[in-house]
Chains A and B, each alone.
Chain A
Amino acid sequence: AQSVAQPEDQVNVAEGNPLTVKCTYSVSGNPYLFWYVQYPNRGLQFLLKYITGDNLVKGSYGFEAEFNKSQTSFHLKKPSALVSDSALYFCAVRDRPDSNYQLIWGAGTKLIIKP
């Protein structure tokens, strides 16, 4: 069965330090992978996606993610964290290729950046 896991409920990082939010997946076939961010009391905003090509994907707000096929991971990274990056982050994977583009969602990771 298709699945996606975010192993950390919360990640704490000091401002200016690099951050990583982890995501692993299990799908059949080639995965389509996504990261979204949710600020308090708001909808989700699309950050970046991996469909094919370069394993390092760059997205909005200075975020990037690395697709690692052998480890079935798609970790979100940023070289220098900002307090304004504090939010809830969701990883998602497309369901089966014939699924009308449904996504399967991780449970979310709360990122807290401390000044």
Chain B
Amino acid sequence: DVKVTQSSRYLVKRTGEKVFLECVQDMDHENMFWYRQDPGLGLRLIYFSYDVKMKEKGDIPEGYSVSREKKERFSLILESASTNQTSMYLCASSETGTGRVEQYFGPGTRLTVT
């Protein structure tokens, strides 16, 4: 089974702090994604990566950055956390290949910024 793990289930940070969210997948997937999930808004893509050191902005990249130094690990960075970044953050991974495009998700990190 594909396993995607996230470093924390719950996180509380103060406004202005730098926050790191880590994601690791164990299936050698090429693609990795960071989403935020807010009630009524579904999933919104922040960034994704299709290869090591490669990244592309999603729909809502402002206030976030990412790092992918190794294939299995994809980090989301909040440079200066703000209260409007309080949310559930979901990491996902997927293969590259026709018909094998479903994404596999980690358990999520619920971040509260006070």
Contacts and interface: CB of A to CB of B under 8 A. Distances in A.
A43 interface: yes
A100 B105 contact: no
Contacts of A108: 42
Residue among B4, B43, B103 facing the most chain A CB atoms (10 A cut-off): B43
A42 B37 CA distance: 11
A102 B48 contact: yes
- Interface of chain B: mostly helix, strand, loop or mixed: strand
Contacts of A52: 99
Interface residues of A, number: 23
Interface stretch (B11-19, B65-73, B79-87, B106-114): B106-114
- Interface of chain A: mostly helix, strand, loop or mixed: loop
B87 to A, nearest CB: 13
Interface string A100-114: 111101111000000
Nearest to A101: B101
Chain B interface residue bracket vs A: 20 to 34
Nearest to B39: A108
Residue among B58, B96, B102, B108 facing the most chain A CB atoms (10 A cut-off): B102
Given A94-B101, A106-B42, A107-B40, A101 B96 contact: yes
A61 B40 CA distance: 25
B110 A41 contact: yes
Interface in A68-106: 90, 94, 100-103, 105-106
Given A43-B90, A44-B90, A52-B99, 16 more contacts: A9-B40, A34-B102, A36-B105, A42-B107, A43-B4, A44-B103, A44-B105, A51-B98, A90-B42, A100-B96, A101-B96, A102-B33, A102-B58, A105-B43, A107-B40, A107-B41
